[in-house]
Amino acid sequence: MKKLVLHNPFKPRIVNEKRLREHLALERTKLANERTLLSYIRASLYLLIGGIALLELEGHDNLKWVGYVSLGLCILFLIIGFSRYITLEKKLKDLLLPDEPEED
């Protein structure tokens, strides 16, 4: 049977403030990166819905090209959003330092 060690909340711990700030800053950046990706996806869905609606209009053949442009922009937004997300994630992984063992 494995022995479980619980942390004593009343025992003072030494906290490296600089390391904590860097960690929190990286977490905020990750969350902002995810939020930006979701914004690109949302804009892409709006363009997809608008493009499909314009293609389905009857009697307005001159708006068909706008629908196709909207569908093309939809795909372009998805590609840009995912490529920006992936490149920033790779950069953030390079910034992360290996975890140091905690002192008890």
Q: How far apart are CA 45 and CA 66, in angstroms?
A: 16
What pLDDT does residue 104 have? 47
The tens digit of pLDDT for each residue in 26-75 reads 889 999 999 999 999 999 999 999 999 999 988 888 889 999 999 999 99
Range of the domain at 42: 32-95
Question: Would the pLDDT of 87 be above 80?
Answer: yes
Q: What is the mean pLDDT of residues 73-91?
A: 95
* Dihedral class, residue 10 (left if φ above 0, else alpha if ψ from -120 to 50, else beta): alpha
Kindly state whether residue 86 falls inside one of the protein's structural domains: yes
Question: Would the pLDDT of 103 be above 60?
Answer: no
Q: For residue 51, count other CB atoms closer than 10 A to its CB.
A: 19
Q: What is the pTM of this model?
A: 0.72
Kindly state whether residue 16 falls inside one of the protein's structural domains: no
Kindly state whether residue 7 falls inside one of the protein's structural domains: no
Q: How many domains does the chain have?
A: 1
Kindly state whether residue 56 falls inside one of the protein's structural domains: yes
What is the H or E stretch that residue 72 is in? helix 64-95
